Amino acid sequence: MIKDAPIGLAVTLLAGCCSSARPGGPGQIDRRTFVVERVVNGHTFQVRCGGKLATVRLWGVDAPPKTDTRGPAATGALAGLIIGKTVRLEFPGPHKCDRLGRWLCKAYLGATDVGEEMVLQGHAERR
Global confidence as pTM: 0.77
Q: What angle do CA 81, 85, 89 make, to 5 degrees?
A: 90
DSSP character for 96?
Answer: S
Ordered structural domains, the chain, with CATH: 2-119 (2.40.50.90)
Q: What is the pLDDT of residues 26-62, one digit of tens each?
A: 343 335 899 999 999 999 999 998 889 999 999 999 9
Q: Is the pLDDT of residue 70 over 60?
A: yes
Looking at residue 4, its pLDDT comes to 43
Among the listed residues 81, 83, 96, the one whose alpha carbon sits nearest the alpha carbon of residue 18: 96
Question: Residue 75 has what pLDDT?
Answer: 97
Asked whether the beta carbons of 45 and 39 are under 8 A apart, the reply is yes
Instruction: Tell me which residue of 126, 92, 122, 123 sits closest to 108, measured CA to CA.
Output: 92
